[in-house]
Amino acid sequence: MGDRPGEYTPPAHAAFCRATSQVEREMGELLADEEMWEEEYITIRLCRAVMPEVRYARFNKNQEGRVGADMIWWWVDRSGECFGCLIQAKSIKQEGRHWRIGFHHPKNTGEQMAKLFRAADMFHLPAGFLLYAGDQNYRRRMGCTSQHTDEVPCHERPGAAMTLVPALAADREIQLAAQAPWDRSAVEVFCQWAIPLIDVTAPRPYGRSKLYRGLNLGAVDHGLREFLYTDQIGARKVARHVFDVVGRMALPLFSLAAPARAIDTDPECVFRHLPDLTAHFTVPYFQHMLRGLRRELPDYVERCLFGNVPDEIAQQIDGIMLIQL
């Protein structure tokens, strides 16, 4: 189904709507039996549910004790442009009165988060988390107190069972949680910064905004300004959805930022020169996020989908997903 009567539904969007419903139902059934779902199980169910519209290949069974990324996801449009993200699946778990996502597993050392960022640097991609959040009854217990512009409670958002959040945003919330009397990061990440997967693939354009008008971008090319200020479709729309999460988080510092100097990116990136701005984050966020927006798919994507997996890929991740927009 489309978002409005008579609206064309892209196959990938239909696939993720179907998969979200199926996965939410299965998580709800397990919760009704007083069982918690396993991340690997839900990931496999997701991958199977998006077929045949979406292609995927899983080539590693999760190894005991392994800390790394689960999959690389690529969204590609008809122009050939694409957006890639290194994604690790995480479940939102209730522990007594509090909620945990386990970003710092194992043993709360932060090593898993650090390895995710190192792997993202290796593949020149942004890092993200895919959050599994159960059914509405489960999510309702979080008691979100955030003010949302659409006035829809977090637990009732369409597609809230499976959401995507940039790792930079999660990492920042973990830093803020360290200053609170309890770990608030799980609820804040889910309620404030997580994007339902079905929003990313929805047919309507996205991006027209004044969010970045107060930011001094310095000497960057006109194409980047157009990307930030106007509606986007295809791979650029996916990139804007994900980038805007860190953009909203950085917003309070926009007026304080000095004119940004430009830093170079990889030749295959859509934008070759990006602002060297860090804001709250540990790395320049424009470069980290937008290095995933490429002119064409890397060669390894098709190789992996056909079973010819390079060793450097197999050693770091468990699979590839290709979403044609």
Per-residue pLDDT tens digits for 10-54:
999 999 999 999 999 999 999 999 999 999 999 999 999 999 999
The token pair that represents 157 in the structure block:
């958002």
Outline where the chain has alpha helix (H): 11-32, 39-49, 111-123, 136-140, 167-177, 185-188, 197-200, 222-229, 234-250, 285-290, 299-305, 311-314
3-state helix, strand, coil in the chain (%, to 5): 40, 15, 45
Cα distance from N-terminal residue to C-terminal residue, the chain: 16
The 3-state DSSP class for residue 82 equals strand
Query: CB–CB of 289/243 below 8 Å?
Result: yes
At residue 63, does pLDDT exceed 50?
A: no
Flag whether 181 is in a domain: yes
Q: What is the pLDDT of residue 150?
A: 66
Flag whether 87 is in a domain: yes
- What whole-number distance in Å separates Cα of residue 279 and Cα of residue 274? 14
- What whole-number distance in Å separates Cα of residue 19 and Cα of residue 42? 10
Question: Binning pLDDT at 50, 70 and 90, where does residue 65 land?
Answer: very low
- Closest C-alpha to 228, from 173, 293, 280, 283: 293
Lowest mean per-residue pLDDT among 9-18, 103-112, 157-166, 300-309: 103-112
At residue 321, does pLDDT exceed 50?
A: yes
Flag whether 2 is in a domain: no
Flag whether 79 is in a domain: yes
Flag whether 4 is in a domain: no
Question: Binning pLDDT at 50, 70 and 90, where does residue 187 land?
Answer: confident
Outline where 178-233 has alpha helix (H): 185-188, 197-200, 222-229
- What whole-number distance in Å separates Cα of residue 66 and Cα of residue 64? 5
At residue 179, does pLDDT exceed 70?
A: no
Let me know the angle formed at the C-alpha of 138 by 142 and 198, rounded to the nearest 5 degrees: 95
% the chain with pLDDT above 70: 88
- What whole-number distance in Å separates Cα of residue 297 and Cα of residue 322? 10
Tell me which of 65 and 303 has the higher pLDDT: 303
**Number of domains comprising the chain:** 1
- What whole-number distance in Å separates Cα of residue 54 and Cα of residue 47? 8
The 3-state DSSP class for residue 257 equals coil
Q: Which domain holds residue 95?
A: 11-324
To which H or E segment does residue 306 belong? none
Flag whether 49 is in a domain: yes
